[in-house]
Structure 1
Amino acid sequence: MSEYRLFQMVYYLMDKGHTTAPELAEKFEVSIRTIYRDIDILSSAGIPIYTTQGKGGGIFLPENFVLNRSLISEEEQNQILTALQGLRGMDEEKNQALLRKLGNVFQKQTINWIEIDFSEWHPQNEERFQLLQKAIFQKTRLRFYYFSREKPGSDRKVEPLKLIFKAREWYLYAYCCEKQGYRLFKLKRIRQLQQTTETFERSAPEKVLESQKIYTANQQVVKLAFAPELAYHVYENHEQVKETEDGRLLVEEKFPVNESFYRFLLSFGGQVEVLFPDSVRQGMSKKIAQLKTIY
């Protein structure tokens, strides 16, 4: 706790310019003797803190003092600024204000070398994202209508704990009051999102995805041949790609062969062919036959 107080004292002095021992003692709820002992510790650590007696005296830091290697190394300063610079879509105005403030503290200009934006183009999605963020910080329950694989749709009340970005998708990790358990909810399947006034005390684990089971049910090796026009999709989503003499792109890997997989294949129309196995080829034939009964 004393280490944290020392760090807080330095920031307080940087913000205030100068202070007094009684003022610091009251702020940090310690004795004046402890404050003077802390000043000695900071001075011995290389922080140029000094005191003066008499009228207008007190405890000071040099006017041009900045945090340096005595507290945060050069590399750590750059890491902090770079991490903040990469955040977008999460209260942009406050984030930029903090970035400028820390840049001034470190007396550094941020290098504008990266831009990351986790928000989506549609403004409605950004509003939903901000509502979720607010509920997590305020620890208030949410209500929404959710479409899962098992049910067409159902009402849920949850305790939101963490937003997770995985495999190009956003998920809400929350405790579901109806299911009495922790769940991952894909944001795109959430509708009629509302924040309630009900609060909760539950906290999120430090690592969520490590405890989640990897979906491996009904996975099969499938060999696909994509038309050259789909090169943008193939190279964006697959690592191992072979090109045939006629320009088609071959992909051979494990897929979860289910209804979603067949819908995925049908979305490409005649620009993808299943080469292996025969069971998946036959499954595609059945799906195409079903479509013919409609059209």
Structure 2
Amino acid sequence: MRASRLLTILLTLQTRGLVTATELAEQLEVSVRTVYRDVEALGAAGVPVYAERGPAGGYRLLEGFRTRINGLTQDEADALFLTGLPGPAAELGLGAVVASAQLKVQAGLPAELRDRVGRAQLRFHLDAPGWHREADRSPELARIAGAVWTDRRIRVRYRRWAGEVTRDLEPYGLVLKAGAWYLVARTVREGEHRDRTYRVVRIEELDVLDEMFERDPSFDLPAYWRAWSQDFVEQLRPILADVLVTEDARAMVRHLFGAHVADTVEASAGEPLPDGRVRADFPIETIEVAVPELLRLGPQIEILGPPELRARVAAEARATAARYA
């Protein structure tokens, strides 16, 4: 366990430069006193680590010192090359860079671990797009990624459902979701700065401006995406239909309609009726969209409301029955 801590301290100092004992203790989940002892052990082993005193001080490695990555376990070596995404990296214009970096890391591994890395690459593959849809293809993706890297403002002509708009944006990050790329950016308007999400494939024109912007240091891309995704799903199905569902239907909902619908049904489900059905809320987008969706569940679901939805589903069911009469 201590050997793992010593390696973590060494690689952290090598990666980050100056690091305080408190930061190391929080990362390792040990006491500051334990960090002191571990740093002393590194020094005794010949690692050139020294302390900088004062309020802004901490531990640092002697400039120019580097260590080979030879402390990986077999499991870590197996997982190392599963973290890469060669397809998306190539779309961002980084395919050659990623391949070069992987070669350099692989060259630094002991021979027995290099073989395990090759085995992992032969046995596992990530296919990001979902079924029944193709991955987004945007000729502007690499240029957008370049603006994200260099903190350059961009001007886009963006295709919305309601028509096209032109926006000046501060590009904060890119997110790949089920084969679709999304740009998270801050709008640049006088007196207004709002974070928004844009589907990259809908960007019709792009100008990378000479103007730089200063990133908000408090912005957290993963946290923003989690919150935006939750809001997006909820806004996509703003209407709650009142339904009676069988146990079989409840088992099918998650597969057919996703986690948000299934979780809403389960959270709102009442006590079972004598026939085994339960009354629950079912999120829908619109009446028109809900009719063919709910018909997929056949007699396993009964719509109680809204009345228009019940009437439309009943009419479709009668027309279907008449077709097969």
| Correspondence for 1:257 | 285
Within-5 A mapping of 1:32-51: 44-45=44-45
> What is the RMSD computed on CA atoms of the aligned residues?
4.7
CA distance in 2, matches of 1:6, 1:202: 25
| Correspondence for 1:219 | 239
CA distance in 1, matches of 2:12, 2:240: 57
Distance change in 2, residues 1:185/1:283 (3 Å): farther
- Please state how far the C-alpha of 1:166 moved relative to its aligned partner: 3.8
| Correspondence for 1:200 | 213
Q: 2:144 aligns with which of 120, 125, 132?
A: 132
Distance change in 2, residues 1:160/1:101 (3 Å): same
CA deviations over 1:131-156 (Å, ceiling 9, x no partner): 2211100111111122345x422111
Give the letter for the 2:220 counterpart: P
Distance change in 2, residues 1:236/1:44 (3 Å): farther
| Correspondence for 1:209 | 225
CA distance in 2, matches of 1:272, 1:236: 9
- Please state how far the C-alpha of 1:257 moved relative to its aligned partner: 2.3
CA deviations over 1:64-120 (Å, ceiling 9, x no partner): x95222xx5544444333212x44221212111111211111131322222235589
Give the helix-richer structure, 1 or 2: 2
CA distance in 2, matches of 1:131, 1:281: 49
| Correspondence for 2:103 | 100
CA distance in 1, matches of 2:309, 2:240: 9
Q: Please, what TM-score do these two structures have when normalized by structure 2?
A: 0.50
Q: Please, what TM-score do these two structures have when normalized by structure 1?
A: 0.55
CA distance in 1, matches of 2:203, 2:313: 30
CA deviations over 1:185-232 (Å, ceiling 9, x no partner): 122332212322221121442422244362435232477xxxxxxxxx
| Correspondence for 2:69 | 67
Within-5 A mapping of 1:155-174: 155-166=166-177, 169-174=180-185
Unmatched 5+ stretches in structure 2: 1-8, 16-39, 48-63, 244-253, 263-279, 316-325
CA distance in 2, matches of 1:88, 1:133: 15
Q: Figure out how many residues of one structure are paired with residues of the other and give that number.
A: 218
CA distance in 2, matches of 1:92, 1:257: 39
Distance change in 2, residues 1:237/1:211 (3 Å): closer
Larger deviation, residues 127-136 vs 74-83: 74-83
- DSSP 3-state at the match of 1:106: coil
CA deviations over 1:160-183 (Å, ceiling 9, x no partner): 011123466432110011352111
Distance change in 2, residues 1:164/1:272 (3 Å): same
Distance change in 2, residues 1:74/1:205 (3 Å): same
CA distance in 2, matches of 1:220, 1:140: 43
- Please state how far the C-alpha of 1:284 moved relative to its aligned partner: 8.0
Distance change in 2, residues 1:202/1:68 (3 Å): same
CA distance in 2, matches of 1:236, 1:127: 33
Distance change in 2, residues 1:46/1:283 (3 Å): farther
Distance change in 2, residues 1:3/1:235 (3 Å): closer
| Correspondence for 2:126 | 116
Distance change in 2, residues 1:117/1:46 (3 Å): farther
- DSSP 3-state at the match of 1:155: strand
Counterpart contact for 1:142–1:160, Cα < 8 Å: yes
Distance change in 2, residues 1:60/1:254 (3 Å): closer
CA distance in 2, matches of 1:45, 1:219: 65
Distance change in 2, residues 1:189/1:256 (3 Å): farther
CA deviations over 1:246-279 (Å, ceiling 9, x no partner): xxxxxx9733423xx735867x9x9898963442
* Identical-pair percentage: 15
